[in-house]
């Protein structure tokens, strides 16, 4: 009997701090490499796990989406349990479901939501060091919020992409862009004197250039410090050179939060 080939959608979470990114690389520890090794043993043959998009070294995911094809006679629920029993502790399969054969996690994605976390306090918080960027200097939250709103809409984000990127167009559409303080910090990371706060830069859009969200976060921090103005941000969004925007924020603060698909 010929085994039935099925397409499955996986929802994944991982702490990217100890990974060299998503994509399999020779001699490097990657999320794709770990998943393909574990699922390949279940399948009894090599498998390819296709993600909605690559994440760079040190970047995290709360709900990355991937697609695979399998012939192994295993239910999605059992696949989740079997994967998590073997995967390293910094990556987990949160859910799995059968999909139509044509489904592809990257091709059918319609957009993504990212969150970038900034720990704003005089002292760093060791319990957040792998998950947030520590910025001790004074920041104007109001200025950062005004600047974040400028990102909404369709703009040329060439000033916000990594050097050496080769894409057909640097124009991207941003749906929402906000900066908010976390009103309810977990007790294990709250500063005892209430001097620290966790700022969340959340941005959603139809697509992003390499390092775009981190460059946007770096720009917002310079605005918060008073070193860039709203006019500077507007100039950068008009297709300015990379130097017109802020620095690329550290990878530790970036989290792929959600991948959007048609209903």
Catalytic residue among 56, 90, 156, 182: 56
**DSSP assigned state of 5:** P
Q: What angle do CA 251, 36, 55 make, to 5 degrees?
A: 15
Sketch out the chain's domains with CATH numbers: 6-99 (3.30.70.580), 111-260 (3.30.70.660)
Residue 4: what pLDDT?
Answer: 86
Note the pLDDT tens digit of each residue in 108-147: 999 999 999 999 999 888 989 999 999 999 999 999 999 9
Low-confidence ranges of the chain (pLDDT < 50): 1
Q: pTM for the complete prediction? A: 0.94
Going by C-alpha positions, the residue among 8, 136, 15 that lies closest to residue 67 is 8
Q: What angle do CA 240, 210, 220 make, to 5 degrees?
A: 55
What count of residues does the chain have? 263
Concerning whether 182 is annotated as a catalytic residue, the answer is no
Report in angstroms the alpha-carbon separations of 116 from 86, 119, 149, 178. 30, 10, 15, 10
């Amino acid at each position: 009997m010929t085994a039935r080939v099925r397409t499955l959608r996986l929802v994944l979470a991982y702490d990217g701090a100890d990974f060299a990114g998503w994509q399999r690389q020779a001699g490097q520890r990657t999320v794709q490499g770990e998943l393909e090794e574990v699922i390949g043993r279940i399948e009894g043959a090599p498998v390819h796990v296709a993600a909605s998009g690559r994440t760079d070294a040190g970047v995290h995911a709360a709900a990355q989406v991937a697609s695979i094809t399998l012939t192994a006679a295993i239910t999605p629920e059992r696949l989740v349990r079997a994967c998590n029993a073997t995967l390293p502790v910094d990556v987990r399969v949160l859910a799995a479901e059968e999909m139509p054969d044509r489904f592809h996690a990257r091709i059918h994605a319609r957009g993504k939501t990212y969150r970038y976390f900034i720990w704003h306090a005089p002292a760093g918080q060791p319990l957040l060091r792998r998950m947030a960027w520590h910025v001790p200097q004074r920041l104007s939250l109001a200025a950062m919020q005004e600047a974040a709103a400028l990102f909404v809409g369709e703009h040329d984000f060439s000033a916000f992409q990594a050097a050496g990127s080769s894409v057909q167009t640097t124009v991207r559409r941003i749906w929402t862009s906000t900066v908010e303080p976390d009103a309810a910090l977990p007790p294990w990371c709250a500063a005892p004197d209430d001097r620290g706060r966790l700022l969340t830069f959340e941005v959603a859009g139809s697509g992003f250039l390499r390092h775009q969200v981190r460059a946007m976060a770096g720009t917002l921090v310079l605005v918060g410090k008073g070193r860039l103005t709203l006019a500077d941000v507007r100039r950068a969004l008009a297709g300015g050179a990379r130097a017109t925007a802020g620095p690329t924020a550290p990878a530790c603060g970036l989290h792929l939060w959600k991948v959007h698909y048609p209903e």
